[in-house]
Every structure is written in structure tokens, then in C-alpha cells.
Amino acid sequence: MPRPQPQATLRIFGFPHAGGGSLLFRPWLAQTPSHVEWCLAALPGREQRLNEPPLAQMGPLLEGLALAIAPLLDRPAIFLGHSMGAFIAFELIRKLMARGWAGPQLLAVSGQRAPHLPDPKPPFYHLPDAEFVAAIQRTYQSIPQELLADRALLQIFLPAMRADFTLIDTYRYQPGPPLPLPIVAFGGTDDALVPAANLAAWAQHTRSSFRQHLFAGGHFFLHGVRQEMLTCMLRGE
């Protein structure tokens, strides 16, 4: 987690894409107003939790996150999730509210279809290592070339990557009431995995307001529009 800011009046909780970690959101810190505190989800099997077994099922992951995050929801909050992180953020809100605990004031989803829609890509979590890595690169282009070139290092990251894709490829939405909070959805105009219509379908998961924002770029469009996304979230739009 970034350095605590006791005087912050708002917290943003960041949930990363499959295979990712808190580093996804660290460049945002310098662009964030001083009254906002970032809380970055550190998932098992990576970064400071590298020695912990990664979790390949949504239920156990949500259980741990709910217990860790509930005490931090003592002030207004935003949940921001990119790709896999969007489903985690959405389901975490549902779990918190089912227990009668506080939730955030806004859900911001990025680079992900609405949860009730079918996955447009075939599952590949079960493939042998070489084919698994090739499928990730072919679909997302998300693995750094330095990591691909270092087999020993890649083997360290593979368990978390496979667990994440197992989680996302086997995730099945269970119908429930719409959330009682606004949703803002961000997408890339060239993201073949998440066309605008699939992003807009998030509207049916809130009984509050819904806003959609499209930016130039592919699945990882967010790297170039951090300030714009922050502005939208802080305005609640």
C-alpha cells in the first residue's frame, strides 16, 4: 500500500488485471490530489505476497479482501478495477453489502465487459505453459519482453498468472439486485475484447447513475489517460 494519508477525505481502492499487481496504479499517485489516499490490493502470489499461494477462485479471494478492506471503509471510497479487477471490485461490493457492511460511493470499471455477458475469448488457463503464455500475449500483449526473455523469472510469475486466468476464465455471474451506487465505465476504442456495447451493459448493474467514457487505445488504454479517468471518478461521472 502507498504511504498512508491520515487526513485524506477519500480513498481509492485499486484492483489489477490478471497477472498484474499494485504497480499498475502506482504511476497514478503523483497525479492524485492530496485529499485522496490510494489503497492498492496486494493479491496473493505476487509482489510482497510472492511466497503465498495464489488464489484461483473468486470466493476465497473475496473473503480475504472483504476482511482486509472493511475497516478502511470508514470514509468515502471509490473502487477502481481494470479487466479482471473490475469483476473483483464488483463482486467485492456485493459481498460487503450482503454482510451489511459499508461499501464505496462509486464503482469504476475499466476494460471489462458487464459481468452477465459471455466471455468473447476461449479459456486458456488450462493450456501448457508455452501455449498459455503465447495465448496471453496474443490476446493482451501484457507480458513485458524482459520477462518473456528470462525463463527462470517467468517461472516465478507463472503460478499467479495461471491462477488469475483460472479465476477469470471460470468466473460465472450470479444474478442479483443492481448496486445502490453509481457506476462509471471506461474503455478503449480499439479494445477488441470489450466493444462499447459490452461496456455500456454495466448500466443494468446499478439502480443509481451510469456513465461511460471511451478513450483512444486498446485494452490498456488507461496508461495514457490517468488524469482524465481520475477527473471523471472524482466528479462521480
φ/ψ of residue 168, rounded to 5: -75, -35
**SS3 annotation, the chain:** CCCCCCCCCEEEEEECCCCCCHHHCHHHHHHCCCCEEEEECCCCCCHHHCCCCCCCCHHHHHHHHHHHHHHHCCCCEEEEEECHHHHHHHHHHHHHHHCCCCCCCEEEEECCCCCCCCCCCCCCCCCCHHHHHHHHHHHHCCCCHHHHHCHHHHHHHHHHHHHHHHHHHHCCCCCCCCECCCEEEEEECCCCCCCHHHHHHHHHHECCCEEEEEECCCCCHHHHCHHHHHHHHHCCC
The whole-number pLDDT of residue 3 equals 66
Within-domain flag for 153:
no
Judge whether 83 counts as a catalytic residue.
Answer: yes
| Residue 59, pLDDT score | 96
pLDDT of residue 1: 54
Output the nine-digit C-alpha cell for 228: 482524465
Single out the catalytic residue among 83, 142, 208, 209.
83
Between CA 125 and CA 156, with CA 172 as vertex, the angle to 5 degrees is: 30
Dihedral over alpha carbons 131, 188, 57, 19 (to 10 degrees)? 50
Q: Give a yes or no: residue 131 inside a domain.
A: no
Residue 92 lies in a domain: yes
Cβ contact 194:86 at 8 Å: no
The number of folded domains in the chain is: 1
Predicted confidence at residue 42, as pLDDT, reads 87
pLDDT of residue 154: 93
Q: Are strands 10-15 and 36-40 parallel, antiparallel or unpaired?
A: parallel
Whether residue 180 is contained in a domain is answered as yes
Q: Which domain covers residue 72, as residue numbers?
A: 10-117+175-234
Identify whether 2 is part of a domain: no
Distance CA 136, CA 125 (A): 9
**Farthest-apart Cα atoms in the chain, separation:** 49
Ranges of the chain with pLDDT below 50: none
Does 156 reside within a domain?
no
CATH number of residue 222's parent domain: 3.40.50.1820
Q: For residue 27, is it within any domain?
A: yes
Residue 54 covered by a domain: yes
Q: Tell me the CB-side half-sphere exposure of residue 80, using CA atoms within 13 A.
A: 24
pLDDT of 6: 76
Give the residue carrying C-alpha cell 476494460: 111
